[in-house]
Amino acid sequence: GENVEQHPSTLSVQEGDSAVIKCTYSDSASNYFPWYKQELGKGPQLIIDIRSNVGEKKDQRIAVTLNKTAKHFSLHITETQPEDSAVYFCAGVNTGNQFYFGTGTSLTVIP
């Protein structure tokens, strides 16, 4: 089955700097890659996603890039703010619509 690895496990950045979280996947048939943000005491919230026919997608300060050849995708957050502090999970989704989650990245934005 699919194996999704996520790095780093923890990340601290100064407010206003950029943050990048990377994920790799093993199943070349995976075709959908969502990213979730989980704040303390809450459930995961979908923040952006990308499908395998697209290389990059952007939504305001958040962007996701996908390299199908290398089988990796990344989340980019620019101009970080304290409210961006949370745990972020990537996921790879195969053609059977099974979700495989990464191990999470705890992002801390230092004011």
* Residues that bind other proteins in the complex, under the rule CB under 8 A: 32, 34, 36, 41-46, 49, 89, 93, 97, 99, 101-104
Amino acid at the residue 17: D
- C-beta of 40 vs 111, nearer to other proteins: 40
Taking Cα atoms as reference points, which of 43, 104, 33 lies closest to residue 71? 33
Q: How far is the CB of 34 from other proteins (least distance, A)?
A: 5
Which positions ≥6 away from 42 have C-beta within 8 Å?
none
Q: How far is the CB of 16 from other proteins (least distance, A)?
A: 27
Q: How far is the CB of 49 from other proteins (least distance, A)?
A: 6
- C-beta of 42 vs 83, nearer to other proteins: 42
The C-alpha atoms of residue 100 and residue 96 are separated, in whole angstroms, by 11
- C-beta of 78 vs 101, nearer to other proteins: 101
Run of H or E residues at 89: strand 86-93
